[in-house]
Amino acid sequence: MKTSTDRPPPPVASPFRAPARPTVDRARVEALVRETLARELGADKAAAREIESAGALLLSPDRGVNIGEPYDPRVMPGILAATPARVAVGRTGTRYQTNTMLRFRADHAAAKDAVVSDVDPALLAELGLFELTSRAPDKAVFLQRPDLGRALSDEARTELGKRIARAPTLVVIYGDGLSATALNLHLREFHAALMAALAARGIAHAPPFFVRRSRVKIMDEIARLCGAQAALFVCGERPGLGFADSMSAYYIYQPATGATDADREVISNINPRGRAPAEAARDAAGAIERILREKKSGVVLNGA
């Protein structure tokens, strides 16, 4: 192994070219920053953040603002517009400024809360969904043992047999997955649109239900237990820092034991900023009609 410390040729005499403007037009920079924020959050939300706080403290904007007077104000709006990453947030010493640190912690808090919170039983009652549980007895075990989240508890198996007549065309299952927040926020809209779309297409289905602490592959076991032709499973996605309320809808045709992800199709990124829940529900109904007709599933439609 070499330990050479050869230097490359020296750079150009003046490393940074002269900024485009000698003085900063602060009003213009601020206008551009606000424009970028509005693009990221949507005009309504960006405005609401500022206006509807009723005097409560808001997280102040950091990207492009904290840095103060940039070296080249002409290029800064382009940098901010090019990426959702937390760039141009400035520093105090080598650390974050306080508004930046708090914004980060707030985003992480939303993600954490989404993972550990529960789907509201009142919501399930409102939608007329009955509830089963997986083999995972609590959240901690659920997170450590994906195998337990992929199987129904003994009581749930018995209950399933009582509730669902043998061999339905379709079984509709909801699960918390890794974000209960996603279901709490968007299940109402998704479920209503799905029921309407399935009815419109004349697709018969078993009474829909919810499985607490469940993972995707539990749909395979459920479909086999009740002899369904197809299964739909909708659950919360693993939250990112910028979002905590995204769902995915998975569907499969007659899953055999040992079915893999290649046998399954998915519509992901279901949330108001990505794929609208009602629209995703209608797409899912259309896709289910297709897999029932073609008697196969397995073309991955990532986000499509």
Partner 1 sequence: MNLAATLRGTTYRFRDLKQVLAKANEEKSGDRLAGLAADSVSERIAAKRVLAEVTLAELHENPVVPAEADAVTRLILGDLQRPIYESVKSWTVARLREHVLRDTTDGPELLRLSRGLTSEMIAACAKLMTNLDLIYAARKIRVVVHATNTVGLAGRLSVRLQPNHPSDSIEGILASMREGLSYGTGDAVIGVNPVTDNPEMTAEILNATGDFMRQWRIPTQNCCLAHVTTQMKALEAGAQLGLMFQSIAGTEKALRSFGVTLALLDEAHDMTLKLGQARGPNVMYFETGQGSALSADAHEGADQMTLEARNYGLARHYQPFLVNTVVGFIGPEYLYDARQITRAGLEDHFMGKFHGISMGCDACYTNHADADQNDLENLEVLLSAAGCNFFMGLPMGDDVMLNYQSTSFHDDATLRQLFGYRPAPEFEGWLEEMGLMRDGKLTARAGDPSLFG
Is residue 158 part of the contact set for partner 1 (CB under 8 A)? no
Whose CA is closest to 177, among 261, 238, 135? 238
The residue type of 180 is: A
108 CB-side CA count, 13 A: 6
Q: How far is the CB of 264 from partner 1 (least distance, A)?
A: 17
Which one among 238, 295, 296, 301 touches partner 1, defined by CB under 8 A? Answer: 238
Is residue 70 part of the contact set for partner 1 (CB under 8 A)? yes
Is residue 2 part of the contact set for partner 1 (CB under 8 A)? yes
Is residue 304 part of the contact set for partner 1 (CB under 8 A)? no
Q: How far is the CB of 50 from partner 1 (least distance, A)?
A: 23
Tokens of 81: 């517009």
Whose CA is closest to 167, among 217, 113, 221, 224? 224
- CA dist 87 and 102 (Å) reads 15
Instruction: Please enumerate in sequence order all residues whose Cβ is within 8 A of that of 26, keeping only pairs 6 or more positions apart, or say none.
Output: none
Q: How far is the CB of 75 from partner 1 (least distance, A)?
A: 4
Which one among 111, 197, 285, 287 touches partner 1, defined by CB under 8 A? Answer: 111
Is residue 3 part of the contact set for partner 1 (CB under 8 A)? yes
Is residue 274 part of the contact set for partner 1 (CB under 8 A)? no
Is residue 84 part of the contact set for partner 1 (CB under 8 A)? yes
Which one among 137, 240, 272, 286 touches partner 1, defined by CB under 8 A? Answer: 240
Interface region with partner 1, contact rule CB under 8 A, candidates 37-45, 91-99, 198-206, 225-233: 91-99
Instruction: Please enumerate in sequence order all residues whose Cβ is within 8 A of that of 83, keeping only pairs 6 or more positions apart, or say none.
Output: none
Helix %, strand %, coil % for the chain, to 5?
Answer: 40, 15, 45
Cβ atoms 302, 268 nearer than 8 A: yes
Which one among 239, 253, 268, 292 touches partner 1, defined by CB under 8 A? Answer: 239
**Residue number with CB closer to partner 1 (8 or 202):** 8
Which one among 79, 123, 192, 196 touches partner 1, defined by CB under 8 A? Answer: 79
Size of the site for partner 1 (CB under 8 A): 63
Is residue 95 part of the contact set for partner 1 (CB under 8 A)? yes
Residue 227 backbone class (left: φ over 0; alpha: ψ -120 to 50; beta: rest): left
Is residue 112 part of the contact set for partner 1 (CB under 8 A)? yes
**Residue number with CB closer to partner 1 (274 or 298):** 274
Is residue 257 part of the contact set for partner 1 (CB under 8 A)? no
Which one among 78, 137, 227, 286 touches partner 1, defined by CB under 8 A? Answer: 78
- CA dist 203 and 286 (Å) reads 10
Is residue 105 part of the contact set for partner 1 (CB under 8 A)? yes
- CA dist 264 and 231 (Å) reads 10
Buried b (16+ CB within 10 A) or exposed e, 210-231: bbbbbbbbbbbbbbebbebbbb
Is residue 91 part of the contact set for partner 1 (CB under 8 A)? yes
